Amino acid sequence: MPDSAASDASASDPDPASASAASEPGPADPPSGPSALRGSSVEAAPVEGAPVEAEAGTWPAPVRRPTGRDVARLAGVSQATVSLVFSGAEAGRRVSDATRERVREAARSLGYRPQAAGRQLRLGRSGMILLAVPNILGPFFGRVLEGVHEEAGRHGLAVVVSSGWGSATLAEAATTSRFDGLLICSPDDSQLGELPADTPAVFLDADPGTDRARPTVELDVAGGMRAAVEHLAGLGHRRIGRLRSTHSAYTFRVRQAAFEQVAAELDLEVVELGVSLNEGQPAARSVAHRLLERPDRPRAVICDDDVVASGVYQAAAELGLRVPADLSVVGMDNVAVAALLAPPLTTVDLPGEELGRVGAAALAGLLRGERAAPVPPLATSLVLRSSTAPAVGGPGRGAKQ
């Protein structure tokens, strides 16, 4: 890098040839210096071969995007100085504050956006992170993605989301240059394997013992499940139906353990069936029919997510049962469908957006070379709506209902 670019603190740089990477074509030189920043612009040239005037009903001719050379000429500095200003905090400090601000003002006035690819190549990064989720169609993971996308944008990172991955797929993603880091959400046992030690990765809604060398952001799903069971018991329900996930993910093991513990503490009778969450509402509806067609059917049901709860609503309606008069239903996740069901669903709110934001912030810190501080489990809460009611009469009536 020429010395004149590295130490540029003057009002102008009369030698644009000092820009070592000046390969972008540009228009004729406009006036340079501070006064050129007001009332000046770079005329957009049409693409070669495009019509100068668009005919009626046709698209106008494309215009050329402003380049780093345009910014350099307008700000009265070398293109190398422009590159330094936009190449990152460390390089940018080699340019004086006044010159740096003049370059940024010129860029704003032209609508210039630095080319990310060149900067990423210099830094040895792709600028992308991978969010791996078990089921891309699961509405809860949409909430997580929203939080990841929001926080990643603050750090100049793009997000790619993928599902259907296994340990081999993750290992491959970790060893290529496509992604700077990984966010691994709600993994089950088959999806976990050895990641290269130098791969920045953060686990979300996962077992903190999965990889103690890497950060894990947990949800207090046990506390949420306890609140749900205690709510139904407080309404007088002594016999509880339970539709649990059949997947081996840590988050579902924790939910199940918490359910069993509080049910034992409260001396509740439990009728339990497993359901595959990845098969969605049809599978939940089928399993719910089996539960609700029992002669001793429970009068209250707790589901491992809100999509399963919606399947219970459907099965109940098909059997002529009313929610909550004949059946109280509680879900988990608090996705959009919960408030849209009739009646609206009582559910445990799992803060998916916060989970995504905290995880993305931790990963951004790892990419900056920072040590990740432990994160306490994110709080969950029971959202009371209209799908639960006190236990009264009907099948199961008596000491347990």
* pLDDT at residue 25 in the model: 40
* pLDDT at residue 183 in the model: 95
SS3 content of the chain, % helix, strand, coil (to 5): 40, 15, 45
In a 13 Å sphere around the CA of 214, the CA atoms on its Cβ side amount to 22
* pLDDT at residue 65 in the model: 78
CB atoms within 10 A of CB 381: 15
pLDDT in tens, 174-204: 666 678 999 999 987 766 767 777 889 999 9
Average confidence (pLDDT) per 10 residues, the chain, 401 residues: 41 38 40 43 44 54 76 90 72 78 90 61 69 90 96 92 78 74 86 76 89 89 98 97 92 96 98 92 95 95 96 97 98 96 98 97 93 89 98 51 52
* pLDDT at residue 317 in the model: 97
* pLDDT at residue 394 in the model: 41
Give the three-state DSSP class for 183: strand
pLDDT in tens, 371-394: 878 889 999 999 999 999 999 854
Which pairs count as long-range contacts for 200-205, CB under 8 Å and 24+ apart, including other chains?
200/363, 200/366, 200/367, 201/174, 201/363, 201/366, 202/359, 202/362, 202/363, 202/366, 202/372, 204/144, 204/355, 204/356, 204/359, 205/250, 205/251, 205/355
* pLDDT at residue 279 in the model: 87
Give the three-state DSSP class for 241: strand
Q: Which two tokens stand for residue 119?
A: 């900067």
From residue 161, how far is each of 178, 182, 250 by CA, in Å? 13, 10, 21
Residue 324: asked if its preceding bond is cis (omega within 30°), the reply is yes
* pLDDT at residue 356 in the model: 98
Q: What is the C-alpha to C-alpha distance for residues 352 and 380, in angstroms, rounded to an integer? A: 10
From residue 347, how far is each of 174, 291, 300, 387 by CA, in Å? 36, 20, 13, 9
Q: How far is CA 154 from the centre of its chain?
A: 13
pLDDT in tens, 209-237: 877 788 999 999 999 999 999 999 999 99
